[in-house]
Structure formats: structure tokens, C-alpha cells
Chain A
């Protein structure tokens, strides 16, 4: 994608097409997450106590820390986009690297969390144990928890790979030629971040008081 494709009249035209394309893609991503949110809402309305209790079993410290990590990674992603726009190769490369590092930190924390949950028998299909009477709704909660956070983690992994590729390619390509990719990759990164912003209160903060 280095040379402007011949079917675009101008670079401006190409930029606008790419921007619209990535937004349409993000719209499909949102629709893809949608049924999970709907299933969550229906199940939570059916079993308020079960969901509250199950949510209290999540690790709110890691969850909150991870939210902060992800929000910060978005800042660095935005700064990286900015540097690419301004043609600052070294800054852009460094900022992208930090972004990827923060994303990786999120995944590491998340993996620790998964491990703890497995040890506490909170994985619904692996010897699930929970307070009697609430086990059923709690298993539903944890099914959705693993589905949503797992899907999010997959997206984030893709994002990290993308960002690292961009940082790598900046060594040999000019920031001007990489600008479009970094901007659009950034949009994807921010989208993954925004999904987490909704997952965090829904999964970790159901009824903490």
C-alpha cells in the first residue's frame, strides 16, 4: 500500500476513502459486539443478585488499573498519530512503541486475572464452583465475561501487532507515507479502548457498594 493506488484521482481522495472505510469497518465491529451486550443486559435483568455477586468476584484492582493503562495507551496512540502527521519519524516511532508496550501490559495483567479466576473455579466450563443458589446465573455472567474480555483481548492483540508493524516500517518509510496507516490504525486502537470503557463498569462494578 506504499504507492498511491492508481484508481484514486488524488491523495486527498485516497485519504478520505481510507478514513470512511475504517469507520464503516468499526461500525461492523460495534454491531459484532452488540449481541453480547444485549445478552448481558437480558441476563442481568433476569438475575440481578447473581450478577451482582458474580461481579464482586472479579478483580476490581486489576480491572481498574487496566482501564487506566488502556486509556493512557490511547493518549500515546493519539500522540503518535500527531507526530506522524507532523512528519516526526523518531517521535512517532517511539510513541508507537510505548503504545504497544502499554497494550502488552494490559494483556499481561489480564492473563494474570484469568489465571486467578481459573484457580478460584470461576471459569464456567472448567470445574465451576460458586455459592449455591447463585451458581447458575454466575456461570452465565462468567461466560459473558470471558466472551467479552476474550474478544476484546483478541482485538487488542491485533492492535498491538499493527502498531508494532507501523513502528518497524517507520524505520524505512517516511512518516508522510505512513501517516494514513498510523491514523487509521489509531482509530482501530481507540475503538478497542472505547469497547473496554463500557466493559469495565458492566463487568467489574455491578454492585460494589
Chain B
């Protein structure tokens, strides 16, 4: 059973705080859609760091890694097929229940 070294843990923590600073700073630069993508990309990297090092997925068995990724996969399916509908759906609100005026 290997133990993660203190250096690795500290470096991971440093990296996480750095990424936090980056994502916060970037939010104050107007990038349009780029802001969202950057935010989500950085969050994904942070979570990957946490999962790989803090949750030591790097040295877990294949079964455990599969269990860890299964939910991501099925959430992706949920989102993919939902937005497949949502983005191509005609909007036909009933006249007596019109959505708020500031809808898309």
C-alpha cells in the first residue's frame, strides 16, 4: 500500500488555489461564452486533481475507477439527450400561461 507524499499533497493544494485564483480573475475579464467555458474547464481540472490525488484514483483498481466514472457517463447521457430535445423543441406556450416576458 503506497502512501501519497506530503510534497504531492501540498503541490496539489497549491495547484488548486492557483486554479481558483485563475478562475476568479478570469471572471472579471469579459470573454462572453469564453468565461463559462473557462470556468467549467478549470472546475473540471480542479475536480480531476482532487479525484486523482486526494481521492487517490491514480492508484485505485480498474473497478473503482469505473465506479467513479459511471455517474459522470450517465449524467452526460441525461444532459445530452435532454438538451437534444430542449435545443430543437419549438416553444408553443399556451396563450393563457405565457412564460415571463424575459424568456428566450
Chain A residues in the interface with B (C-beta under 8 A): 16, 19-20, 23-24, 26-28, 30-31, 34, 37-38, 41-42, 45-47, 49-50, 60, 64, 67-68, 71-72, 74-75, 77-79, 82, 85-86, 133-134, 136-137, 186-187, 190-191, 193-194, 197-198, 200-202, 205, 207-209
Contacts and interface: CB of A to CB of B under 8 A. Distances in A.
B97 interface: no
A74 B24 CA distance: 20
B3 to A, nearest CB: 5
Contacts of A133: 101-102
The majority secondary structure among interface residues of chain B is: helix
A20 B63 CA distance: 8
A207 B32 CA distance: 8
Contact of B50 (A28, A193, A200, A202): A193
Interface of B: 1, 3-4, 6, 9-10, 12-13, 16-17, 20, 23-24, 27-31, 35, 39-40, 42-43, 46-47, 50-51, 53-55, 60-61, 63-64, 67-68, 70-72, 74-75, 78-79, 82-83, 86, 100-104
A82 B23 CA distance: 29
Given A60-B24, A68-B17, 5 more contacts: A30-B75, A71-B46, A197-B50, A198-B40, A201-B42
Contacts of A137: 100, 102
Given A41-B79, A209-B27, A86 B3 contact: yes
B40 to A, nearest CB: 7
Max chain A Cβ within 10 angstroms of own Cβ: one of B24, B74, B79: B24
Contact of B20 (A30, A37, A68, A86): A68
The majority secondary structure among interface residues of chain A is: helix
B39 A82 contact: no
Contact of A134 (B61, B86, B102): B102
Nearest to A44: B36
A194 B50 contact: yes
Contact of B28 (A28, A30, A209): A209
A209 B71 contact: no
25 contacts: A16-B61, A26-B68, A27-B70, A27-B71, A45-B104, A71-B16, A71-B17, A71-B46, A78-B4, A78-B54, A79-B9, A82-B3, A82-B9, A85-B3, A86-B3, A133-B102, A137-B100, A186-B54, A194-B47, A194-B51, A198-B43, A201-B23, A205-B23, A208-B28, A209-B35
